Structure 1
Amino acid sequence: MAPQTHRSGFAALIGRPNVGKSTLLNQLTGEKLAIVSGKPQTTRNRILGVVTRPEGQVAFVDTPGIHQAKGELNRYMVDVALQAVDDVDLVLFVIEPTPAEVPSVGPGNRFILERLQKSKKPTFLVINKIDTVPKAVLLPLIDLYRREFPFAEVVPISAREEDGVEHLFKVVLQHLPEGEPVFPEDMLTDQAEKVLVAEYIREQVLRHCRQEIPYSTAVLVDFFDESEREPAPGTPPGKLAGLIRIAASIYVERDSQKAIIIGKQGQMLKTIGTDARKSIQRLLGAHVYLSLRVRVEPRWSERPEGLKKLGYE
């Protein structure tokens, strides 16, 4: 009989773009739930990752990076992030250290701190990427932020190196209320497989295409056929089994962007599809037939109806 879960609740990962929130979510859950790239605004929606242990359950909510919002898509992403603060028990404010001799909060993080002051939610300062700076940088930075906000805890980590991540989980759990699990013990995320598939495809666009292309890109899964997914009898555990047929559309805003994603003689689209298929097969545990096409939806990121059509609502 499994021990009773003593504590449970929700914790939001909040911060500026590219501070490592999605990498941290993936490390906490042990699964790739959020796509990761070096480009800002990679995460566009809230992503739930549930970690269940005998001693408790934490539902982590990854959010888009909070930035100066210009355009409908950017405003949507910032609204998603700020709304998450109101919906959780605990906030993890993720920052990255800078090698500057005199640390500063900066206007972006100051805006977030002002929003957190209004929320009155218990908040941790999570200093990520500590492997990138000398340790001597951290103490002045911690002192600076402690003067700005009454943090419940300060936890330095390196999500990429898995340094301090387990300690962070334990401290988060200690600050959550006593209670039964919110989600079933075997639940990892509320993201549907089709949503994850679309994100894995978008990740490869981010990876392979020019700087200006990813921000104008969205992906929708048009067809997801699982009729041949069941593995054949006697298939060894851990082997890909069965077949899933997927068709998806990559949306851009201009014909010139479509030409770049397709590439010369279709080579870029083929590369995107090949790499996306490998990731999707690992996700689904089955062979995948993936068909991609590129469509133009003019100015979709600037129009409310365009956002709604492509799933941002």
Structure 2
Amino acid sequence: MSEKPSEDYHAGFACLVGRPNAGKSTLTNALVGQKVAITSSKPQTTRHTVRGILTTDHAQLVLVDTPGLHKPRTLLGQRLNDVVRETLLDVDVIGFCLPADQRIGPGDTFIARELAEIRQGRRRPVVAIATKSDRVDKDRLAQHLVAIDQLGDWDDIVPCSATRGDQVDTVAEVLMSHLPVSPQLYPADVHTDEPDAVMIAELVREAALEGVRDELPHSLAVVVEEITPREGRPADKPLLDVRVNVFVERSSQKAIIIGRGGSRLREVGTNARTAIEELLGQRVYLDLHVKIAKDWQRDPNQLSKLGF
């Protein structure tokens, strides 16, 4: 662990919250400067709290990316909401993401009330972040910022576009301004503390979610069975064998993932392998298998086996 005992140095944890598909994962990746959280056009993509770490000369921001808070319809949904609430109690500052291309709705009001209750019990700075600012004109953005201001009592309000890079540095500076005086919590060259197996599972799930029906994001779980170096390979050309199981709830969903003649699964494997090789910095043989775990979202035993 790197030591920075200066009284001017700040370090701590921040949590980005918001309703599903508010741009939290995209903003996390933009702040860190590399991919540490999966993104998808499908809501409720994030399942695990992925930590992204941004280190500067004056501060270190450890970002905890959570599932979107939502009205749960399954046991999985309840557990994901519990993850968010537990995380909020452990961080130093909260970033509340409200996408500029969508009007303030019941989901935002629900989260604003949750944050107000948390602040009553234990003071936490909350920064309201108007994400996806590139998708609206200046007048619409101004109206959105006024609506955000009226929604609650925020320590700061910042508009940004994570995809275009607009004001991402400002978001980082504002979040860091609320961190306590502390030495660095992680070495400066570390960007995430997630194990490789978790990151690999997330990358496979991201690849599997692209271009499929809305029902699948909630029904898809990925488990990495093993990661082993291929024996007998030359030292300068190592190869990792990665075996991954993709779980769905019904045979019809399995057919969607596999595709006609296995074409869809091959595409998923190719896209995931490229991302995994970039993550690990070496060649990978990815062995994908699709399995059925009937109604796993509602089964406590299966939820536990799948890591929830």
- Is the shorter-chain TM-score for this pair beyond 0.5, marking a shared fold? yes
1:236: which partner in 2?
none
2:55: which partner in 1?
52
- Do the aligned partners of residues 75 and 2 (structure 1) sit closer, same or farther apart at CA in structure 2, a change above 3 Å counting? closer
Q: Provide the rounded CA distance (Å) in 1 between the counterparts of 2:281 and 2:189.
A: 17
Give unpaired runs (5+ residues) of structure 1: 234-240
Q: Provide the rounded CA distance (Å) in 2 between the counterparts of 1:106 and 1:77.
A: 21
2:219: which partner in 1?
216
Q: Provide the rounded CA distance (Å) in 1 between the counterparts of 2:77 and 2:232.
A: 37
1:74: which partner in 2?
77
1:279: which partner in 2?
275
Counterpart selection for 1:244 from 240, 244, 267: 240
Q: Provide the rounded CA distance (Å) in 1 between the counterparts of 2:131 and 2:47.
A: 20
Aligned residue type for 2:268:
I
Contact 1:45 1:63 (C-alpha < 8 Å) held by counterparts: yes
Q: Provide the rounded CA distance (Å) in 2 between the counterparts of 1:144 and 1:267.
A: 46
Q: How much does 1:73 deviate?
A: 1.2
Q: How much does 1:187 deviate?
A: 2.4
- Do the aligned partners of residues 304 and 229 (structure 1) sit closer, same or farther apart at CA in structure 2, a change above 3 Å counting? farther
1:118 aligned onto 2:117: yes
> Does the residue aligned with 1:159 lie in a helix, a strand or coil?
coil
Aligned residue type for 2:307:
G
Q: How much does 1:95 deviate?
A: 0.4
> Does the residue aligned with 1:291 lie in a helix, a strand or coil?
strand
- CA displacement, residues 219-272 of structure 1 (integer Å, 9 cap, x when unaligned): 111110036699845xxxxxxx52111011111111222222222222221111
Q: Provide the rounded CA distance (Å) in 1 between the counterparts of 2:206 and 2:234.
A: 28
Q: Kindly tell me the number of residue pairs found equivalent between the two proteins.
A: 301
Give unpaired runs (5+ residues) of structure 2: none
1:304 aligned onto 2:307: no
Q: How much does 1:87 deviate?
A: 0.9
Contact 2:101 2:132 (C-alpha < 8 Å) held by counterparts: no
2:143: which partner in 1?
140
Aligned residue type for 2:92:
D
- CA displacement, residues 8-29 of structure 1 (integer Å, 9 cap, x when unaligned): 1111000011111000000111
- The alignment yields a C-alpha RMSD, in angstroms, of 2.0
- CA displacement, residues 156-213 of structure 1 (integer Å, 9 cap, x when unaligned): 0001101000111112112211111122323221211011111111111101433322
Contact 2:3 2:184 (C-alpha < 8 Å) held by counterparts: no
Contact 2:101 2:133 (C-alpha < 8 Å) held by counterparts: no
> Does the residue aligned with 1:70 lie in a helix, a strand or coil?
coil
Q: Provide the rounded CA distance (Å) in 2 between the counterparts of 1:53 and 1:97.
A: 28
Q: How much does 1:2 deviate?
A: 9.1
Which stretch of structure 1 is more off in the superposition, 221-230 or 38-47?
221-230
Q: Provide the rounded CA distance (Å) in 2 between the counterparts of 1:106 and 1:195.
A: 33
- Do the aligned partners of residues 257 and 172 (structure 1) sit closer, same or farther apart at CA in structure 2, a change above 3 Å counting? same
> Does the residue aligned with 1:40 lie in a helix, a strand or coil?
coil
> Does the residue aligned with 2:210 lie in a helix, a strand or coil?
helix
1:262: which partner in 2?
258
2:207: which partner in 1?
204
Q: Provide the rounded CA distance (Å) in 2 between the counterparts of 1:35 and 1:221.
A: 16
Aligned residue type for 1:291:
D
Q: Provide the rounded CA distance (Å) in 1 between the counterparts of 2:156 and 2:231.
A: 50
Counterpart selection for 1:292 from 288, 298, 303: 288
Q: How does 1:11-160 map to 2 (within 5 A)?
A: 11-98=14-101, 105-120=104-119, 121-160=124-163
Q: How much does 1:35 deviate?
A: 0.8
TM-score under structure 1 length normalisation: 0.91
**Identity over aligned pairs, percent:** 39
Q: Provide the rounded CA distance (Å) in 2 between the counterparts of 1:92 and 1:24.
A: 11
TM-score under structure 2 length normalisation: 0.92
Aligned residue type for 1:304:
P
Q: Provide the rounded CA distance (Å) in 2 between the counterparts of 1:245 and 1:268.
A: 21
Contact 2:222 2:246 (C-alpha < 8 Å) held by counterparts: yes
Q: Provide the rounded CA distance (Å) in 2 between the counterparts of 1:276 and 1:191.
A: 17
